[in-house]
Structure 1
Amino acid sequence: MTTQELISQINQKKSFLCIGLDVDLTKIPPHLLALEDPIFEFNKAIIDATHHLCVAYKPNTAFYEAYGIKGWKSLEKTIEYINKKYPEIFTIADAKRGDIGNTSSMYAKAFFEDLGFDSVTVAPYMGKDSIEPFLAFKDKHTIMLALTSNQGAFDFQTKEIGDRELYKHVLETSKNWRNSENLMYVVGATKAEYFKEIRKIVPDSFLLVPGVGAQGGNLKDVCKYGLSKNIGLLVNSSRGIIYASNSNDFAEKAAKKAKELQLEMKEILEKFKK
């Protein structure tokens, strides 16, 4: 998917909502556990109920890898279902990969070619030769960790190195990598006060923003400093949407929660464009 196609979808749906498909079998409605593939059936119901309200889905691969081969098969079925039935949706493999060049090339092939994701999250600690193999794929996007929403982000990411914080060095350096136009960045919603500084470095790049909802991030604060001329935000909510109910009405309740966020986004976008 091209960036322009993503922007077009945001404008059509009046939404920049990303829904995290982080499936924990201990939290899904019990009646699904009797099915052959409860993870996929849960995802399918959530997707069918919310696809018109969001522009992206983000399965965190750990929630699938934890269940071995069966979990990986569920992930494969989920992404195949999205790509076939809702091809306009932007898909994110939240895998946080990053290794020496030839290994990263294999990771990239796995997510982009075999599974057919539009994007994958990566960790930048090993530098450009661990990220550029992902960036080499046409119309695929690499979403690099920049400033995360967890408390441990302060251990390294905000430490001053010379004249600026480490996360700023990461952002600035990555702009010089080959095919850097395919880069997006992860910036946590709980760090809303940092968005103004981040936009000075990457004014037009898309930012994937986790932490709205269960983690306490504030959508209005994120948008106040994070919106770019092309919107430039994908705001993720996982638990707050997919676990809105543990009963037979789980998909309906998920859609209701997604609709609440979509309407808030619509209002923000209408004000932003005036």
Structure 2
Amino acid sequence: MTRSELEAQIQAKKSVLCVGLDTDIEKIPAHFKQLEDPIFEFNKAIIDATHQYAVAYKPNLAFYEAEGLKGWQSLEKTLQYLNQNYPELFTIADAKRGDIGNTSARYAKAFFEELNFDSITVAPYMGSDSVKPFLGYPGKWVILLALTSNPGGGDFQLKSLSEGNQLYQEVLGQSSQWASEEELMYVVGATKAEYLKEIRKWVPNHYLLVPGVGAQGGTVSEVMEHGKASSSAGLLINSSRGIIYASQAEDFADAAASEAAKLQAEMARFL
């Protein structure tokens, strides 16, 4: 998906909502567990209920890998369902991959060619040769970890270097030279909203994927106010548990749609 295609969808829906498909088989409604593929069937129901409010979906691979071969099959079926029924939606493999060059190249093939994701999250710790194999696929994106929302994120990311920059700033500065804003995004946690103004000094036009809204305590208004790009929305704001587990009863899909609609309405005020 190109940047212009993504932005057209954002403007049409007045939304930058990304729904995180962190589908834990232990947390889905009990009646799904009797089905042949409960994870896929739950994902399908969530997608059908929320697609009118969302512009992106982000399966977190840990929840699929934990189920072995069946989990990978559920993931593949979820992607096929999205691509066939809602091809305008942006898909993110929340995989946080990153390894030596030849290994990264195989990861890129797996997620871009075999599974046909639009993008993948990548860890930058091993440097440019671990990231560049993911770049150069037409219409595909790298979403690089920059400043994460987890409590331990500051253990390294906020450390000051001898040059005076913090480590996350160095990641932004160097990596923004590796690719354009047409194929490179960054992960910035919503609980780090106070850093968004500083981040925009380093990457004024790149898209930011912002997890942490809802269950982790981040707010849409703070992210939208401080994180918009200078030339476009420049944001994808993710909510996972707050949407997909809004209810564990029979009304789970309606509850998910209601939560997605609330977030979309907040976003529309800034678009």
Query: TM-score, length-normalised on structure 1?
Result: 0.97
Q: Tell me which of 248, 251, 254 is aligned to 1:252.
A: 254
Task: Give the residue type in structure 2 aligned to 1:26.
Answer: E
- 3-state SS of 1:145 partner: strand
Distance 2:15 2:182 in 1: 23
CA contact (8 A) 2:79 2:116 kept: yes
Q: Is 1:170 equivalent to 2:171 in the alignment?
A: yes
Distance 1:179 1:245 in 2: 40
Distance 2:113 2:216 in 1: 33
CA contact (8 A) 2:104 2:134 kept: yes
Counterpart position of 1:119: 119
Structure 1 residues without counterparts, runs of 5 or longer: 270-274
Distance 1:197 1:116 in 2: 34
Distance 1:118 1:181 in 2: 12
Q: CA deviation at 1:268?
A: 2.0
Distance 1:224 1:41 in 2: 36
Q: Is 1:24 equivalent to 2:8 in the alignment?
A: no
CA contact (8 A) 1:13 1:53 kept: yes
Counterpart position of 1:233: 235
| Number of residue equivalences | 269
Distance 2:182 2:4 in 1: 12
Distance 1:192 1:33 in 2: 38
Counterpart position of 1:103: 103
Structure 2 residues without counterparts, runs of 5 or longer: none
Counterpart position of 1:272: none
CA contact (8 A) 2:225 2:270 kept: no
CA contact (8 A) 1:97 1:107 kept: yes
- 3-state SS of 2:237 partner: strand
Mark the CA change 1:153 to 1:10 in structure 2 (over 3 Å): closer, same or farther.
same
CA contact (8 A) 2:224 2:267 kept: no
CA contact (8 A) 1:94 1:121 kept: yes
Q: CA RMSD in A?
A: 0.9
CA contact (8 A) 1:93 1:111 kept: yes
Alignment of 1:60-79 (within 5 A): 60-79=60-79
Counterpart position of 2:134: 134
1:166-199 residue CA offsets vs partner (Å, 9 max, x unmatched): 0000000001215664110000000001000100
CA contact (8 A) 2:146 2:186 kept: yes
Counterpart position of 1:215: 216
1:112-158 residue CA offsets vs partner (Å, 9 max, x unmatched): 00000000000000000000000121110000000000111110000
CA contact (8 A) 1:18 1:235 kept: yes
CA contact (8 A) 1:119 1:141 kept: yes
Query: TM-score, length-normalised on structure 2?
Result: 0.98
Distance 1:213 1:180 in 2: 27
CA contact (8 A) 1:132 1:179 kept: no
CA contact (8 A) 1:135 1:180 kept: no
Task: Give the residue type in structure 1 aligned to 2:160.
Answer: E
Q: CA deviation at 1:212?
A: 0.3
Distance 1:220 1:48 in 2: 26
Q: CA deviation at 1:225?
A: 1.2
Q: Is 1:35 equivalent to 2:38 in the alignment?
A: no
Please identify runs of 4+ aligned residues in structure 1 that moved more than 3 A: 178-181
CA contact (8 A) 1:244 1:254 kept: yes
Distance 1:178 1:28 in 2: 39
Q: CA deviation at 1:210?
A: 0.2
Q: Tell me which of 257, 266, 269 is aligned to 1:267.
A: 269
Distance 1:179 1:249 in 2: 43
Counterpart position of 1:201: 202
Distance 2:176 2:219 in 1: 28
Q: CA deviation at 1:222?
A: 1.1
- 3-state SS of 2:44 partner: helix
Distance 2:92 2:22 in 1: 12
1:26-54 residue CA offsets vs partner (Å, 9 max, x unmatched): 11000110000000000000000111100
Distance 1:120 1:176 in 2: 19
Distance 1:216 1:70 in 2: 32
Distance 2:179 2:84 in 1: 31
